[in-house]
Structure 1
């Protein structure tokens, strides 16, 4: 009889042979061919000196304290969004291309609510502080929409984002506010900007800005034509879609 150590060594050798034989059979490891060589970024025109003057300021980081607005318990739901925009207009802090007619309509929202350009507000924690921020939209002429975000702090409100564009839609994705806008110079494309909270600037910044193609209607799936040559049959009606709150 072989000693136990010899039997154990023989068993391990047979097991290793079986594993190696299995790798070469069906379902074993296979090579995908040689890997592509990684290509790093190449700097063009390295002799160019760095820019010394900053570009024009577009006001992405501009913030504004809303005058005369008190927020109870740092809860933005306790304030009236129309009163917030009206306070900015009265203090001439509206900016963002708000025309005089829209400003007058904002001031008259109480007496003429049907013509009030301030849209229904939305609430979302965009800064990650555990509290909701106030998101306000304002209709402007020529299909323009002003989108503003307000942060409750120090007993009042601070406007931490403001932009105006010919808006297609405004969406919330996590803590990002995504604005889709029409492109006048590139037909078939749209601008898509994701605004994100920046702790260092203490404001919402356009962190990602891209131009994306819009699928033309011809790419939409087509329904099959109704059958011909037989008795007419009525197809079952699909249930009416329920109205879902935006976004």
Structure 2
């Protein structure tokens, strides 16, 4: 009987020793390189803003490459005063008609012409001041499209952005950013993001190009620098302009080796 008790006691001690070793290994594993680390409560997930289209995808029309015309200095449009504190109180067609940056082709589209289109006005908030801006677009008879952004400042209308874009462009808002998508090379795409910079009181611009063309994919940061608008009636592209698509850079030429020079005896050296 005493022998059985001694065996049971030894088994109990062995089990206790094994449990102690397992506990030590478990605790040590929490800090080891292959263990599971407790970093505390999970971080909250912040949902990123989704693109909100301003208009349905524009009609597909073949046209030459688009250019982006920077807006003029932010001066109020002469002869235009809003009746209230919201830019919605103004007729978008009246705003375009009084804007000195608007071309004669756009004015013709406002009056109505074959193949022309005047987009429905949109009122996103782009500048972070809590007030809505007016975003509108026009396509003229020659299939050139123009996109304009206006804001209201002390009951006066100010032009913030004037762009010449592809007829089949697409414009979205992502948060407070304006994003313009345009086809570039066959199968390629150019996406330009306009982000309001309150220190400059103007939009900063970043262009990303992608696609199977020879142009390298990447981002082209930049800024929209104000410039003088072209005179009315002048076709687009003749005034100051900034290209909205990256310019591909080809490989540098490799110089050919110099031919061998002949020695005075006639043998090549």
Contact in 2 for aligned 1:61/1:204 (Cα 8 Å): no
Distance 1:124 1:200 in 2: 20
Indicate the SS of the match to 1:147: strand
3-state DSSP of counterpart to 1:67? strand
TM-score normalised by structure 2 residue count: 0.51
| Mean CA deviation greater in 113-122 or 190-199 | 113-122
Distance in 2 (CA, whole Å) between partners of 1:61 and 1:86 is 16
Unaligned ranges ≥5, structure 2? 1-19, 38-68, 213-269
- Encode CA deviations 1:135-169: one digit per residue, 9 max, x unaligned: 11111344332111111002111001111111421
> What is the total number of aligned residue pairs between the two structures?
162
Change (3 A) 1:152 1:131: same
Distance in structure 1 (CA, Å) of the matches to 2:135 and 2:72: 17
Q: Report SS of the residue matched to 1:172.
A: strand
How far, CA to CA, are the matches of 2:108 and 2:79 in structure 1? 19
Q: Which one has more relative contact order, counting CA pairs under 8 Å at least 6 apart?
A: 2
DSSP-derived class of the 2:161 partner? strand
1:68 counterpart SS class: strand
The reply to whether residue 68 of structure 1 matches residue 79 of structure 2 is yes
- Alignment CA distance shift 1:210-1:141 (3 Å): farther
Which residue is equivalent to 1:28?
A: 35
Corresponding residue to 2:95 among 84, 95, 119: 84
Find the counterpart in structure 2 of residue 102 from structure 1.
106
TM-superposed deviation, 1:104: 2.8
SS of equivalent to 1:201:
coil
SS of match in other structure, 1:69: strand
| Whole-angstrom CA distance in 2 between matches of 1:67 and 1:115 | 30
Partner of 1:210: 208
Q: List structure 1 runs of 4+ shifted beyond 6 angstroms.
A: 113-116
Higher gyration radius (CA) = 2
TM-score by length of structure 1 reads: 0.55
Query: Secondary structure, in 3 states, of the residue corresponding to 2:96?
Result: helix
Contact 1:161 1:205 (8 Å CA) reproduced: no
